[in-house]
Each structure stands twice: as structure tokens, then as C-alpha cells.
Copies of this chain bind each other. A is one copy, B any other.
Amino acid sequence: MTLKGNALVGQSGGPTAVINASLAGVVEQAKLHPEIGEIYGAIHGVQGILDEELCDLRAETDETIALLSTTPAAALGSCRKKLTGADYACLLAVFRAHDIRFFFYIGGNDSADTSHKVGKLAHESGWEMRVIGVPKTVDNDLGYTDHCPGYGSVARFNALAVQGSGLDTAAMSTVDTVKIFETMGRNAGWITAATALAREQSGDPPHLIYLPERVFAPERFLADVKRVVDRGNGCVIAVCEGLRDAEGQPIVTFKHAVGTDSFGHKQLGGVGEFLVELIATELGIKARADKSGTIQRSFGAAQSVVDATEAKLAGGAAVRRACEGITDQMITLVRTSNDPYRCETGTAPLADVANAERPVPAEFINAAGNDVTPAFLEYARPLIGGPLPPVARLKLARVEKKLE
């Protein structure tokens, strides 16, 4: 017998440029399935469910839902909340009260854990409900999926920013010689790695790339910087906020721990400024740090078309799979061809995805640990949704000198 009832969708964790595209995919697909009655949204993710703060997504116009696909951040509101045992029971009470039979949770590995646990409790309690996770994270660190919706857009932003920042640094290389470009990435270097997509020709910035998958060694770093600086024309260095030392400790920890989130994540920051100081102190060279912070994940004008398309696809696939009877799975992206780039959806068990993190693999990092490999570029390039805009490259043919 076909399961009938209401659907609930929520968004969780750090927003991305395309998490709303996934929401649009869920809502538009849900409207096509007669077994789905009401389509509810959870305000601020599981926090909204706990507070019984739900909204009616059928009350939104088709135009508004369509516009979600190009609207950054999480339109329903998001949260970072680690649930306790009592919370799960509370969620289930809300599901029962509102006849929720289809639950779609758009988020990362913490959200997969939450989804899996609430689905398990529902099952054990005899409440028939399909639970499907929709992947989302700028960090691109979920397992079982080729890549994560949200990554292509943050990658595009950072590639665009390093392209411009690189031109800026070259222009100002007689004044500000070194540019430290700090990206997000608590435990994985995917975002930092993507800055390499700014390169069009050999020698283009970024000149050095440091990922948290390799121990950060100050002496090697300084030697690298000195070598690039000596070549002239400036030095652009992409670094990850999560860089770690030989003991596995962050090389910089944010001073104030007000509101360390409930998963125990520390708010990192300041790696860029720390390295500016290191370079000034040890090499006597002036550096500047750029750190776009949350701008990189919420800059609509840098949205990758491929990313937005796939995010919406994943949202729609979640509803289709649920209506087919699938539960306790996360939608995955499966790359079926790289040239031309093609991608389909698949599924993976939520329990497998939960709390697992996928670092940048060794074959994507060069031997010296200061750059990515061509294999990484091949992997990442299709995800940013087309080439960067071309830039003028003057020949700067020198005029013969006439003075001594």
C-alpha cells in the first residue's frame, strides 16, 4: 500500500549558495506526488521541529519557489544542533502530530547522523516514515558521493577571487609582495584546493597552496615563500583555516570561544593574519591577508550553474526515492563521465555517511605538499560551471632604454 501523508523538509548546518536550490527541488518534486499532502518546512532545521515551528510551503507561489534556486543561504533558516535522546522523542511526537510521513533533511554529516537516528526511532516506534538526506556542504567532505552540492559554488567564488586577487597582487607587488588568501575548511582542504582553478597559464596564482591534509611546517613554508618572492611579480598563497601542526593542533585557534557550537567545533580563524606576521617577522616581507569568511559561501553572483542544477536534482531525487519506498538513505552524486561532464544521483545509507569525513586524497596533493595535482584539477574543473571570465594579458614589450 502506498504511504500517504505530509512531507517535512529542513535545512541544516552552514548555508551554501545552492542549499535553497535543493529546497526548490524538494518542493517542486513533492507537488508532483499525490501521496504527499502538505509540504511543510522546518524553521531553523531540527530546532524548528523541536519547537514545532513549521511553515506551509504550499502557501508559497511557484515564482518564489523557482527563485529559491538562485538565492543563497538557507531560506528556511538553519541550525547547528546536536540532539540528545530526549530530543529524538520530541521530534517523533511532532512528526506524529503533523502526520509527517516523508522527512527530507538537507545537510552535511551531522545532519545525516540526525536523520538516521530519528528515522531509526520512528521505525522502532512503529511510525512509518521515509527519511532521505540531501547532501549539502561547501566543505565537500561527505563520503559516498563524488562531490557535494555547495562545493562547486564556493569553489567558483574562490577561483574568481584568487584570479582577481592575483592580478591585484601582481599589480602591487612592489608594495604588498605577498597575499595570503584564507579559505574555509575546518578539516578538509577541498575549498582551498579549488583556488587552483584560478590558473589559466603556468605561473598564474595561486603560487602556493596549503591544505590541512598535510602538516604545516613553518620552515618549509617560509622557504617556499622566499623562493616564489625571489622570482618577482608577487606571491599568492592559498591557505586553509584548518591548517594543523605536527601534533595535529590548529596553528591558530580563535581567541573567544563564546558559543562553540554544540558539536564541539571550535571557531577557527586568523590563519591568514598569523602567516602575515610570520612572514613579516621571519622574512621581513610585507604581506596582506584576505579572508572572505562567510562571503564565499553566500555570494549569489558566483553561483556555479552546475552546482545549482545538481543541488536541485538532489532535492528532487530525494522525494522520488522516498515515494518509491526508499528510506534511511542520503542522495549521492555519481559522476558517469568527465568529458563531457555528466552526473547522476545515487544513494548511500545515512548511517555510513553520518559523521564520516572525506579528506582530500593523496593523489590530489603534490609531493611537496604545497600544491594540488592535475588529477585534482580534472576532478574539480567541471564543478564550477564553466570557465572563468578571460582577462587581458599585456605583452608589456619593453621600450629600449635611452639613459644610463
Contacts and interface: CB of A to CB of B under 8 A. Distances in A.
A196 to B, nearest CB: 17
Contacts of A15: 167-168, 171-172
Interface stretch (A119-127, A279-287, A338-346, A364-372): A279-287
A150 interface: no
A298 to B, nearest CB: 3
A73 B258 contact: no
A340 B272 CA distance: 44
Given A167-B72, A286-B258, A300 B179 contact: no
A204 interface: no
**What size tier do the contact residues of chain A reach?**
35 or more
Interface string A223-263: 00000000000000000000000000000000110110100
A390 B175 contact: no
Among A15, A40, A270, A392, max chain B CB count under 10 A is at: A392
A218 interface: no
A191 to B, nearest CB: 15
Contacts of A269: 273, 289
Contacts of A53: 398
A52 interface: yes
How many identical subunits does the complex contain? 2
A290 interface: yes
A14 to B, nearest CB: 7
Contacts of A170: 73, 77
Contact of A390 (B41, B67, B390, B397): B67
Contacts of A295: 161, 164-165, 290, 292, 295
Given A175-B79, A256-B280, A292-B292, A52 B403 contact: yes
B294 A165 contact: yes
A173 interface: yes
Contact of A294 (B70, B290, B293): B290
A256 B277 contact: yes
Contact of A299 (B161, B280, B293): B161
A60 interface: yes
Contacts of A297: 168
A202 B187 CA distance: 39
Contacts of A390: 67
A174 B280 contact: no
B55 A397 contact: yes
Interface stretch (A91-99, A317-325, A329-337): A91-99
A55 B219 CA distance: 38
A261 B270 CA distance: 24
A65 B392 contact: yes
B160 A299 contact: yes
A72 B276 contact: no
A327 interface: no
Contacts of A14: 172
Q: Which 9 A-B pairs have the closest CB atoms?
A: A259-B286, A73-B167, A164-B298, A290-B293, A74-B171, A67-B392, A168-B298, A97-B402, A54-B399
